[in-house]
Amino acid sequence: MITVPRHKYALGTMFGVRMQHSALAIWVLEAVLNSVEPASIIEIGTDNGGLTVWLGAWAHFNDAQVLSIDCKDKVGEDTKEKLKCLPVFLETGNVFDEDHKTLIANWLQQDRLPALLYCDGSEKFKEMFMFTDYARKGSVIGCHDYINQVDPKKADAMMADAGFVKIVRDQQMRDLACMQMFWVRT
């Protein structure tokens, strides 16, 4: 028997790996990716790897690469096997330590521009602003599930001060588990 989600915004899987993003959140993220066409995607907050698999599949078909970092290794062995087939580099560590800050900064400054930094870790506000100086023109910084961590008005003002322009904020869809914001460096 097949279990059908109660509504089209229910959480699902990507190649059998549970995703923590709704279908609508993925649609918004895909629209941003297709618009910006980043060569490098940095994901902070791998969790169990569902979105990482999705980002890896997008990267595979769009000549890009993904760096995914989480402070805990929660990615199962079967998911790691799937990721080996994709242009994905998994890192376990604290994004706030010097080695990982340097790694992310280097990915943001690669010759292959633009880049997308997707903040979905436990300290989104800090994650977003720590790397604004490293993002080159055309690069995007975004975050997901920000409602309890990031004040959108404060974030817009700080990102504007850092040379970014808001391109997406889908807060009106908060009941649909979408909750994403994105800014592009001008």
* Pure H helices in the chain: 23-36, 50-61, 77-84, 98-108, 124-130, 152-161
pLDDT in the model for residue 96:
94
Q: pTM of the predicted model, to two decimals?
A: 0.88
pLDDT in the model for residue 183:
92
Please check the confidence at residue 1 and state whether its pLDDT lies above 50.
Answer: no
Which position has the higher pLDDT, 73 or 20? 73
Of the chain, the percentage scoring pLDDT greater than 90 comes to 54
Structural domains in the chain?
11-17+38-185 (3.40.50.150)
64-94 pLDDT, tens digit each: 999 999 999 989 898 999 999 999 999 999 9
Mean of pLDDT values over 4-33: 71
Angle between helices 50-61 and 77-84 (to 10 degrees): 10
